[in-house]
Amino acid sequence: MARVVDRFEFLRADDTRLLAAMADLSDRSSGWINLLPGIPAEEEGSTRLPSSLGALFGTRQAPVTMCTWFPAPRSGRAEMKLGIMHPRQSKVVASLRESGLGVPEGWRVEQDHPRRGLIVRPPADAHAAAVMQWAMEAALALALVPVTGSWMAEVHR
């Protein structure tokens, strides 16, 4: 069965729709949410993703970040999963810590890779709002272009 994708823009100060989508996916224990920061129109040309050959041989990545959140599975370990694709081409846990955005205590770093990004596992009792607030702050700290303050959410049900 094909997934339904719900796209909407929001501001961090009004994340009610985002948190409702997270609750829905958590209840289903299925799907995921992608978050992309808004960028000024003049920066849009610099955000094209590299071709498949470019990605294979390590040419320039898009200068923005994308966060992907997965709800906890029903079986096994009850941890949600959060990934951040970033353009830094280096490991980022240490630089986030230096900027005051270290991975919160109790969260497990599953991957910190220059090309594949950062993957963390917040504990089962982590609050959705706190997880997304940290994700958005980290994404902004890792972006290489100015951002507008708005966000695009893609909810995959």
Q: Where are the domains of the chain?
A: 17-38+60-156
At residue 32, the pLDDT reads 97
Over residues 37-66, mean pLDDT: 62
At residue 44, the pLDDT reads 61
Name the percent of the chain lying above pLDDT 90.
Answer: 73
How many angstroms separate the CA atoms of 103 and 122, rounded? Answer: 9
pLDDT digits (tens, 9 = 90+) for 58-109: 445 567 899 999 999 877 667 899 999 999 989 999 999 999 999 999 999 9
CA 131 to chain centre: 10
Can you state the percent helix, strand and coil of the chain, rounding each to 5?
30, 25, 40
Residue 16 burial (CB count, 10 A):
8
At residue 41, the pLDDT reads 82
pLDDT digits (tens, 9 = 90+) for 106-146: 999 999 999 999 999 999 889 999 999 999 999 999 999 99
Q: Which ranges of the chain would DSSP assign to H, the alpha helix?
A: 16-28, 52-57, 93-98, 128-142
At residue 54, the pLDDT reads 44
Q: How confident is the model at residue 45 (pLDDT cuts 50, 70, 90)?
A: low
Name which of 9-23, 29-43, 46-60, 69-83 the model is least confident about.
46-60
